[in-house]
Amino acid sequence: MTGTAVEAEIRKFGALADRWWDPDGPMRPLHRMNPLRTGWIADRIARAHGRTGRDLSGLTLLDVGCGAGLASEAFARMGARVTGLDAAGEALEAARAHGAAGGLEIAYREGTPEDLAPTNETYDAVVALEVIEHVEDRAAFLGALAALAKPGGQVFLSTLNRTARSFLMAKVGAEYVLRMLPVGTHDWRMFVTPGELGAGLRRAGLAVTDLAGMTMDPLTGRWRETRDLGVNYLVAARRD
d(CA 224, CA 63): 22
- Residue 192's nearest CA partner among 138, 152, 238, 236 is 138
50 labelled binding-site residue: no
86 labelled binding-site residue: yes
37 labelled binding-site residue: yes
- DSSP letters for 190-212: G---HHHHHHHHHHTTEEEEEEE
Long-range CB pairs of 11-19, under 8 A, 24+ apart, other chains included: 11/88, 12/184, 12/185, 13/67, 13/88, 13/91, 14/88, 14/89, 14/90, 14/91, 15/90, 16/91, 16/182, 17/68, 17/88, 17/90, 17/91, 17/93, 17/94, 18/90, 18/94
129 labelled binding-site residue: yes
**Residues flagged as binding site for S-adenosyl-L-methionine:** 37, 65, 86, 129
